[in-house]
Structure 1
């Protein structure tokens, strides 16, 4: 016999957990289903663990360069990867356990551990970890099942050991030579951190530059920073075959060249966790990318079913997933009308220095052909950057020539991931750039140079 709920949430990622609690607190009897680890990608194998590694890598980098600041560090700076991992495990355990405890202690929430599959538009079957089968139904169902690392189908893959962004976090010994297939933000973050840990790192990039979706000037500057730290780049490469080579792996490329490495990491995108949910039973057809199409309110084409987080293709970040929750909660619980269509996209690449962007890129604006203003400024003009001895990078802003509204901004440099919020906030306020330009900012900070940047606007040629 099926157990009836007012709402079912599948997955406890950044959107699913808060949504389950919000629904229950509004008086809806809610079932929350988690197949594996509470907290989703961010807590377990994404933002939280990788940023602990970034912090350890930066500590090693700063120690090695301490002499430049008059600080004497005796002896060789070495990284104990087992201790780095132990610190990471401690951090994520606190977050993961906190999410599970929060859900289980919320009145009105029933937590089930197991794999959920649709058996109808509003019915779910859960194969529990306890071996029991649970049949549920609800008027409202919310899918928040996330994504997993994509591993390309390469000849010989079964004969070698390889890593993904998840499994590399389980290593306790430092790779002698880490080869990374990919040129995205995930690839770049791991490349820099493991180089700073002490590994030799080679990046095998399919195209002619990293971060193909970003403006070329930013991509080339990031490459320059990592190259200076010792990361090796091989562009226009495509892996055709892999095979064991001693204790490591030989990677053969389509240009007849090959590279030997001790470890191989694939950072080649993400695959939606939608292939084993029985979505056809609910009348949901996946698009060509395996994603669930949704409207601005995150509703699927089947009435009473929503999709939030990475599976809907409307954003692939923790903050977009959480904003999905906020939009659904506002519409379903609070009686408001909010849409993801009006959301201004923003994100950061957590290399060091970080790269951050909000809104349109210069490439986007040029493609649109609209009259626009542009300004750029090197980070070497920023007092905070000079004082810290970290002057790599630059900032860029684009403004609509007619409305004076900011179209987009991007920053590569010290504290760019924080300073970008100055742009994000003024863009969401839908205010003209002069509002920001005339604001008084605190000295010495990175943000204080943003009004100066806006004073340098000139027509985009």
Structure 2
């Protein structure tokens, strides 16, 4: 039984774990990472962000191909199966593994492969994949084990027609009709992907509207475009039971409806990966969804045990996890631990959505005097050239100070476009003004030019009063 001792031990090699480990290595600390897969990258690289967004990209290319009459004349008319599309999307994963492996090698971070469990607050037992066992000691430990899809006990996920957001990436057939239960971010993303492949999709939402945390206008636009692409959206529904046989799957809803399809994708929540860590050995307890509670330094109730990433719950985004990893390391080794806040929303539906700041509902509720500036992509030269003419950029700004209060974007490259507004919002009070976009020259034609158009629209609304 080998022994290892470190200044910092990170459990999990996803975005938060990687950034925490490398930040510590950069300041000369002895650091190691534990990963329970044979390769690094965590669920982000293997089951979540990277493969699903790569799949989305391939589907978007297929949609563009089918919509272009020039390519239809010479194109491949064979039916694209889901496994073929998935194989094309999966090519990015080995590249991601190589990239992130090199990060650890270059920074001299040791990577231990196996399942970690606590012996005490400074000691980890590592069950290796070959059956061996090691003991690892560390002064500080960061839990960055991520999350997995929530699986209720009464749903048989072993059945070949019942999937969650992890197992769907291994689906070996091409359903003509699929039910998606859960209309959160993941459910909406997969609804647009599958409809883009020509499948019939039933999207079951247990709330009154899609993604209610979004600005109402953006939520309405998403609902419209999903329906326009053939998705049947059913609101205020809850499941009663799921029945499956060799040829189909049926979803029974509490409303009495019974939906039948070729497959079902369960997308109703996630669970923190803490059940295998033997948290009881250190007096730590996760909540009912496996998440850990932390303070403003990302420290748990055990003074040398920290947690970051999806395992602490909201916002459960790779983008936020990278920042949390750096922040926790800074706090552990004596610098300021800056909480990751004001995280932009990035939703990779077709078309995509991104936003930051306040919504109209929030501003109205707070009685903040605001105005709206809009730029429709169909009115931009770049949108017309590229055929990306669906969507808009929406700016919310204070009527008196002209301070930008919210940026909401729906359409092509929304997740890129939003960062321009984010940068201006983060300036000092004098620098955060919609007038920036009036006095700045944008390349033409670009999608970024939408900021100038939206700013002019907003200012004109004020001047007409």
Uncovered stretches (5+) of structure 1, i.e. residues with no partner: none
For 1:92 and 1:249, how far apart are their aligned partners in 2? 31
For 1:71 and 1:156, how far apart are their aligned partners in 2? 42
For 2:71 and 2:10, how far apart are their aligned partners in 1? 55
Which deviates the most, 238-247 or 362-371? 362-371
Alignment-derived partner of residue 339 in structure 2: 340
Alignment-derived partner of residue 395 in structure 1: 393
User: Following superposition of structure 1 onto structure 2, how do residues 178-193 of structure 1 map, counting pairs within 5 Å?
Assistant: 178-193=178-193
User: Following superposition of structure 1 onto structure 2, how do residues 179-258 of structure 1 map, counting pairs within 5 Å?
Assistant: 179-258=179-258
Uncovered stretches (5+) of structure 2, i.e. residues with no partner: none
Alignment-derived partner of residue 310 in structure 2: 310
Q: Is the 8 A contact 2:33 2:110 kept in 1?
A: yes
Alignment-derived partner of residue 423 in structure 2: 425
Secondary structure class of the residue paired with 2:421: helix
- Quote how far apart the aligned CAs of 1:165 are: 1.2
Alignment-derived partner of residue 61 in structure 2: 59
Secondary structure class of the residue paired with 2:180: strand
- Quote how far apart the aligned CAs of 1:105 are: 6.0
Secondary structure class of the residue paired with 2:419: helix
- Quote how far apart the aligned CAs of 1:218 are: 1.3
Alignment-derived partner of residue 12 in structure 2: 11
For 2:198 and 2:135, how far apart are their aligned partners in 1? 51
Q: Structure 1 residues 427 and 279 mapped into 2: Cα distance closer, same or farther (>3 Å)?
A: farther
Question: Equivalent of 1:364, from 362, 365, 386?
Answer: 362
- Quote how far apart the aligned CAs of 1:88 are: 2.9
Q: Structure 1 residues 73 and 208 mapped into 2: Cα distance closer, same or farther (>3 Å)?
A: farther
1:127-181 CA-to-partner distances (Å, cap 9, x unmatched) read 2222222222211111110000112344677767411111111123211211110
Whether 2:282 is the aligned partner of 1:278: answer no
Whether 2:320 is the aligned partner of 1:320: answer yes
- Quote how far apart the aligned CAs of 1:207 are: 2.0
For 1:150 and 1:123, how far apart are their aligned partners in 2? 29
Secondary structure class of the residue paired with 1:340: coil
Whether 2:171 is the aligned partner of 1:171: answer yes
Q: What RMSD over aligned residues (CA atoms) do the two structures have, in Å?
A: 2.5
Q: Is the 8 A contact 1:308 1:325 kept in 2?
A: yes
Q: Is the 8 A contact 1:60 1:79 kept in 2?
A: no
For 2:361 and 2:285, how far apart are their aligned partners in 1? 33
Q: Is the 8 A contact 1:309 1:324 kept in 2?
A: yes
- Quote how far apart the aligned CAs of 1:319 are: 0.8
Using the size of structure 2 for normalisation, the TM-score is 0.90
Alignment-derived partner of residue 103 in structure 1: 104
Q: Structure 1 residues 311 and 218 mapped into 2: Cα distance closer, same or farther (>3 Å)?
A: same
- Quote how far apart the aligned CAs of 1:442 are: 1.1
Q: Structure 1 residues 330 and 428 mapped into 2: Cα distance closer, same or farther (>3 Å)?
A: farther
Alignment-derived partner of residue 457 in structure 2: 456
